[in-house]
Chain A
């Protein structure tokens, strides 16, 4: 259980930290799309007999960067680019899983998370990737915020928008891959979006929104794990439901404050 709490804490912090920028750029569903590509990666890992987390990470990065390149360089609208990668990923996953003969209960641990089976070596990988993700967010915070505030102005001034967008897509992919064991592919995007949406209701600046998002993500993760342990509920779903509850509370709080 201690390993589960540690893994939950890493994901609870990183998912909203990266999700913050996606939400501000109105790309809330990118995490979901990348999750579906990660599913294809999991399937490829099972088929090839290598670590599904590793193949999911590779697939997620390729998927995330592809969505960004289709959106920015091609003539494809953002939602269509996402849909294209989204559906291709899930279809590829289904075909590969069937070929591997793995359409069974084991698949559920990737779709819905299996935090209670996290091992010490899993935790080392999750912590290392989480640390890299958080350091990247800290270093590029100002640049990402600058693009959110005025992308066209930044482009005119020569800020490398394309590289920053690709970096953000790759960060989102890493977050999805390492969150997979905690909340599962189907729910990972929720932990990237709900804490940020809740924080946006009560924050007073960009920086406070990010900090509150991380605190809400962390609290939801730890509270969800605790509740799921004592009530014998699935951890991933419980974590997301707690985050959704916090969003409702924040919404009510902001409505009351506005009166």
Chain B
């Protein structure tokens, strides 16, 4: 299996004495569906930013498809759902306008959307079940539906790797379950590599093949059934000093 993400002995600090990550080794194969969890302040978001090449590690190497993550050539194949995604500005962006923004890197930057781009946008909207709401302003929809729209935006780019940072923050339990099931379905149908990052495994635990627990370093990496019972709540992860 070829590797999508490879972190070799990665460390990161925001300054002297402000270490966030230490000795992180992680290899994610193409087509895996992985949940990364850990307590708040445990380094998850920094890990995501290093994987995406938005931050360069203080030590070690971060590779995306075998290339240094900060200058990987195929960036348009990266789908990213940032923490607390929301449309900037006051204008009422519709679901279709949000999803169309996903074709910016993979389609052309200048001019109108081409017919094939519009087809990818329509297909992504159907996949997340928002077809009846395609022309509704996003802000009139529930939190769960808004997250589905952002997932569709990422899908419209036909990503090889989809990274979601806290995708269910502020979303009710029922919607969390449906988003987890949606991602599992997408993983099965499209074979896209999915990295689901959250402060808790929650609804996604039953759908993933692999759990990674981060608390400054990786303290667990394996299938869900091997996770020690207490650690199902990552807030209780205690690592021997």
Contacts and interface: CB of A to CB of B under 8 A. Distances in A.
Interface of A: 20, 23-26, 139-140, 142-143, 145-146, 148-160, 197, 200, 203-207, 209-210
Contact of B54 (A23, A155, A159, A205): A155
A132 to B, nearest CB: 15
Contacts, number: 116
B121 to A, nearest CB: 12
Contacts of A160: 109
Given A149-B101, A157-B75, A157-B157, A142 B82 contact: no
Given A149-B93, A205-B135, A143 B109 contact: yes
Interface string B44-81: 00000000111000000000000000000001101111
Q: Is the interface of A mostly helix, strand, loop or mixed?
A: helix
B90 A143 contact: no
Contact of B94 (A157, A205, A210): A205
A151 B88 contact: yes
Interface of B: 52-54, 75-76, 78-82, 85, 87-94, 97-98, 100-102, 104-106, 109-113, 135, 137, 150, 153-154, 157
Given A23-B90, A200-B90, A154 B54 contact: no
27 contacts: A23-B90, A24-B88, A24-B89, A24-B91, A26-B89, A139-B110, A140-B109, A140-B110, A142-B100, A143-B104, A145-B97, A148-B89, A149-B93, A149-B153, A150-B88, A152-B80, A153-B80, A153-B81, A156-B75, A156-B78, A157-B80, A158-B105, A200-B91, A205-B92, A205-B94, A205-B97, A206-B93
Contacts of B109: 140, 142-143, 159-160
B128 to A, nearest CB: 16
Contact of A149 (B52, B54, B88, B137): B88
